[in-house]
Structure formats: C-alpha cells, structure tokens
Amino acid sequence: MDISVIIPLFNEVESLPELHQWISKVMNTNGYTYEIILIDDGSNDGSWQWIEKASLEDLHLKGIHFRRNYGKSAALHTGFEEAQGEVVITMDADLQDSPDEIPGLFAMVKEQDFDLVSGWKKKRFDPLSKTIPSKLYNATASFVTGIKLHDFNCGLKAYKLEVVKSIEVYGEMHRYIPYMAKQAGFGKIGEREVQHQARKYGVTKFGLSRFVFGYLDLMSISFISRFGKRPMHLFGTLGSLMFLLGFMAIAGLGIHKMYNLWNGILIERITQSSYFYLSLTSMVLGTQLFLAGFLGELVSRSSAERNTYLVDKRVNL
C-alpha cells in the first residue's frame, strides 16, 4: 500500500463528506493504493454515524471511535498503530489542510528519501491573535529543538512508515513529533510550503491556551528526551555540586575559626554566622537532589508504562 491518510477529528461532521471526496479524487487521479483512517475523538455531532455509513460504501475508509475525548495526540498514536501504507500522511479534518498537497509530500518522502516532511502554512487565514503567538512559539521551538521548521504545529505532515512505528505520541506532544523522530534516529526532516484555507464549517477546537501549553510541553519533551532515561545525570550532578559547595563553605568557616583560636583571637561562634546556615541548606538541598536522581533512576529502569485509550468501535479494521 502506498499511502495511509490519518485524520483525527472531533465534531467535524459537516466537513467529512467533502474531505472524503477530495482525498479519494486525489488518490485515484494519481493511481495510489491507499487507506483513509478517521479517528473520531469522542464526537457527539454525528461524525461517527457518518463514518459508519461511508465505510460501507468505500472500503478504503476505516474508522476508529473513542468512547470519550482524549485529544489529538491520542488519536494520532492510535492511527499510527493501525497505519499500513509506506508513507503516512496526517491532516486535520476541518478542510484547512488541502489534500492536493498529498502528491508533493509523498514525492519528498519516496523520491527524496526524507524521513519526515512538515507542512508550512506560509500564508495563513487566521487572525493576528493566532499568527503572532504562533510565530513566537515556532521560533522558540526551532531554537530549543535545533530543527529548522517554520510551522511545528501544522497538522499536514508526511512520514515514512518506520518513523511512526518508532515513536510514541502521548499527552499533548503531537506538536513535537519532528523532535521525537529526530531523537529516535530519523534525522532527515524536510519542510514544504502548503496551501492554507479558511475554515469552511464549524469553529476551531483550539484556543490561545495551546500556545501556553505548547511552551510547557516543549520544556517537558526537551527534558525527557535528554534526561528521561538518566535522571541521575541531571539531579545527581546538581546535587553533588550543591553538597560540595556547602561542605566547602562550612569547612572554610571551621578552618577560619580554628585559625583564630590558635592565634588567640576571639570571634563569634560558627553557628552565629549566616554563612553557616546557607552552607547547611546547600548541603541538605544537594542531598535531596541526589536522592531524587537516584529514585528517578530506579523508576525509569523499572517503568513499563504504555498509553491506553479506550476504543469504542471500529470499521474496516
């Protein structure tokens, strides 16, 4: 199979018929073998009923229904597990991503051997309240991750099948799939300018809070990718340094006290010095950080946690 198109959706029943026809037209025109996997993330507007009906008429169309809303990352994770195409395309269900971009993305993966290609909506039909924070967010993400992309949050992306089978998308980390792919050893990441269309039906499901959470997720995934399997490297190092600084400071106070006593000079007691308590605090915090790293190391080496999402129904799978 050439292509798996994975589409997470939540309450997008109005756009689904047009999106399905559009994708099918592109696939048939280009002679691709394909599957369309719609992941209904707990919709309550009749989206799943449409998927069930459409899947009876088109065997290329497959559907997964979550019992409740888990979020985009959960939908993508489940879709990646089911995908079978050599190239996996992800896109949003609101018709703002154009299926006409699929052949270009497919060619970059198959012919130019990119591991991942991310869409770049250079010209957007969004208000300034979304575009300005988006530019700041993408600049920060590019700096932190070292991946030069203009639009991390673009839902239109293409992957080699082995990429999506090698990463685990959880929480709200779908924004950082390129970084997760890079950390998994897939370093050839490209970008393609894609068409962005104004929303035709319904309203956006994401508010400005996604930019706040996006920064927090960025810090989280950056930390986890570097120290998730070796927390002792961070906490142990910081703890050892703090303990050593505190110990040296107390030792210095003790040596200073002994020197003055040896020379018959009366000075205040060590415990009357504020430096004593600062040094003692540093040693205590250092010990706690070291123990936190040690416990984190034990947890990371014994953890077998996996994402589990309650799939309610499936069609054609």
Specify which residues 196 forms β-bridges with: 97
- Highest mean pLDDT, choosing among 220-224, 250-254, 297-301: 250-254
Q: Say if pTM beats, i.e. exceeds, 0.75.
A: no
DSSP string, 190-244: EEEE--B----SS--S--THHHHHHHHHHHHHHHHHHHTT-HIIIIIHHHHHHHH
> Measured in Å, how far apart are the chain's first and last C-alpha atoms?
15
Sequence-ordered strand ranges (E) for 60-182: 61-66, 87-90, 116-120, 157-160
pLDDT, tens only, 120-130:
988 776 666 66
* Joined tokens for residue 283: 């040693």
Mean pLDDT of 78-87: 96
Higher pLDDT: 298 or 189? It is 189
Radius of gyration for the alpha carbons in the chain, expressed in angstroms and rounded: 27
pLDDT, tens only, 294-306:
888 777 666 555 5
Angle between helices 102-110 and 16-30 (to 10 degrees): 50
Residue 210 has pLDDT above 70, yes or no: no
Mean pLDDT of 187-208: 77
pLDDT at residue number 309: 67
- Report the alpha-carbon distance of residue 287 to residue 283 in Å, rounded: 6
